[in-house]
Amino acid sequence: MAVRNSQRIVRISVPLLLAVVVYAGFSFLIQRLAQPWGSARADYLAHAAAAKDWWLGHGLSPPHFLFVGLIIVCHMLFPAMTVSSTAFMAGGIGAVAGALATYAFWIRQLPAQNNGDCWIAALWSLALQVAGPITLATIWANNFFWGYIYPASTFHNPTIVLLKPFALLSFALTLRALERSMTGRPGWQLVLGLSAAGILSALAKPNWLLCFLPGVVLTVLFDSRLQGRRAAWFVAGAAVLSGLCVLAWQYAFLYDQSGADRIVFTPEKWISQYGWLAPLKLMLSIAFPVSVLALFWSDLRKSLLLRLAWATFGASLLIAYGFSETGSRAGDDNLGWSAQIALFVLFVASAIAMVGAIRQPATPAKWRAFRLRRDIALAIFLFHLIGGLTCYATYMVDRGINWAWY
């Protein structure tokens, strides 16, 4: 009984501690290190202004309004705080939700067998919120941001922070539905849930849905276990139909009211906009998931988890590198956020797949090989972690005033 109570306490306290650490770290970074009017706070202040306008009845400005709505809810709960302060609070809530969603997805895929598994899941969940590209390899170029794909540590964008938990929820529910489709029917509750999660993700920021919908279709199309299953196509159809409805509304809402009158195909964008180091920066951005796939290929080649994550990331690269907006939003590179959120989910999926493969029973010889491959993948992930911390460190250097380091 005492052991059972101890396990229950650990399984409750570990995610609570994770939430406290993430919220405290986020608040310290945004409210203590960043200058009041620096670039780190710019998007938060812009969304605070949009929330104020919406509250005063001046209309809704962004079609992805969940963060603006969260600011209003926080301000209603804490009316003594300024709107900008509640915007930072909303950002902290989004960061905590992303970390807890990562932890919940991890535990769902790899159920904790003891207290240590809970701590491992929490440490991985925390590290995955910080990981960035391996920027140290191009430190001589004095550039830590432009041209790289950041899987998690783009904390200066509040909508991408809020998108992370919804993207993981959408991915997790769709993955479960496809897994059930292999042998039976997923059930209407699950299909309804994944459709709702997809819609909510688009209302947070449409970039996830833009790449996830083709990712789902590609997975069903090329996975031999799914392509002949009517239930799998029903899952894909439900996700695509519900997703296209909200994306069509957002497209009409946005481009009818702004100078960005259309989206155009720009295959030259990858090199012309990101520079001649773009191919190297791409490889340095995805080194960890590539290493997991290469080192554990024989164990993970049939993993539906990785197939769905990689298909989504592949679609995101086409969107990020092949399409651009025109008009006043042309320089914002808004479509590039699709690759960033897809890479975050790919990092989470790769970490879970690697740990899951290592957990499998193995002979002593196979375990020694596993340990070597694990150490190589962990070393690569450590460099990603250093890259993410480097991104945070630049705010300590210039305190978010300019983008000279980016």
- Reference 341, options 178, 164, 189; nearest CA is 164
For the chain, what is the domain count?
Answer: 1
392 in a domain, yes or no?
A: yes
Rg (CA), the chain: 21
What is the residue range of 344's domain? 2-398
93 burial level (CB within 10 Å; 0-12, 13-18, 19+):
buried
Q: Report pLDDT for 239.
A: 95
336 in a domain, yes or no?
A: yes
31-38 CB contacts, 8 Å cutoff, 24+ apart: 31/88, 33/395, 33/396, 33/399, 33/400, 34/395, 34/399, 34/400, 35/399, 35/400, 35/401, 38/399, 38/400, 38/401, 38/402
Residues of the chain with pLDDT under 50: 399-401, 403-406
- Reference 205, options 386, 344, 111, 334; nearest CA is 334
Each residue's pLDDT tens digit, 26-39: 888 777 766 665 66
Q: Report pLDDT for 63.
A: 84
| Distant-in-sequence, close-in-space partners of 221: CB < 8 Å, separation ≥ 6 | 227
The helix (H) or strand (E) run that includes residue 264 is strand 263-265
Q: Report pLDDT for 38.
A: 60
405 in a domain, yes or no?
A: no
Structure tokens that stand for 362 in this block:
């193995």
> How far, in Å, CA of 66 to CA of 85, rounded?
17
Q: Report pLDDT for 278.
A: 79
406 in a domain, yes or no?
A: no
Q: Report pLDDT for 99.
A: 96
168 in a domain, yes or no?
A: yes
Q: Report pLDDT for 400.
A: 46
404 in a domain, yes or no?
A: no
204 in a domain, yes or no?
A: yes
Q: Report pLDDT for 235.
A: 95
403 in a domain, yes or no?
A: no
